[in-house]
Amino acid sequence: MANVSAVRRSKPRSEPIGTGLDPEACARTATALQSILGATYRLLVKTQIHHWNVVGPLFHPIHVTTEAHYENLFAAVDTLAERIRALGHPTEPPVIGTEKPKVAEMSAADLLADLVADHEALCREMREAAATAEEAGDIVTNDMLVERLTFHEKAVWMLRAMLAN
Ligand SMILES: [Fe+2]
């Protein structure tokens, strides 16, 4: 058994896992999930910023809907990051805040459209990653992404319904 000082020096690293998944497929899926994690974090931050800044007659429904969405996204980043670890890879720090929404110039319709675009982009990225994971026999990642897609597709519907005139 490793001694205590060796255990204290342990660092997260990529290592093959013996669960029947191909190590190269695990690495590819971990990279895809890392990208999805970053996009989910950016959407979480943006959703909360729009939750704070929305004004006008749609204030209340948008304020309430965005709160439900950022709570879901906050739980999702943990799920995504822990799946990367379970695939045998470290979770890298996600890149957040490279593109700032111009909140002072945004109407309620603008911020709804901004959120719809990000949810739709995430759906496209997740759909591809889910298919790749399934092809590799990684049904757990596929199942997780199907659940995430269910949330994002419903969010697209709700946000688009608020935008409709
Ligand atoms: Fe709030």
CATH number at 61 reads: 1.20.1260.10
67 CA to centre of ligand 1 in angstroms: 6
The answer as to whether 16 is a domain residue is no
11 CA to centre of ligand 1 in angstroms: 37
92 CA to centre of ligand 1 in angstroms: 28
130 CA to centre of ligand 1 in angstroms: 32
Using the 8-state DSSP alphabet, how is residue 104 labeled?
Answer: G
52 CA to centre of ligand 1 in angstroms: 7
How much is the pLDDT for 49? 94
The answer as to whether 97 is a domain residue is yes
How much is the pLDDT for 17? 85
How much is the pLDDT for 60? 97
Q: How far is CA 56 from CA 89, 110, 130, in A?
A: 45, 12, 38
The answer as to whether 123 is a domain residue is yes
Number of folded domains in the chain? 1
The answer as to whether 26 is a domain residue is yes
125 CA to centre of ligand 1 in angstroms: 28
134 CA to centre of ligand 1 in angstroms: 37
Encode 72-108: b = buried (16+ Cβ within 10 Å), e = exposed: bbeebbeebbebbeebbbebeebeeeeeebeeeebeb
Which domain range does residue 152 map to?
21-163
How much is the pLDDT for 2? 61
Alpha carbon 71 to chain centroid distance?
12
Q: Phi and psi (nearest 5°) for 164?
A: -65, 145
10-residue stretch averages of pLDDT, the chain, 165 residues long: 73 86 96 97 95 95 98 98 97 79 88 97 98 97 98 98 91
Q: Considering the entire predicted model, what is its pTM? A: 0.92
How much is the pLDDT for 67? 98
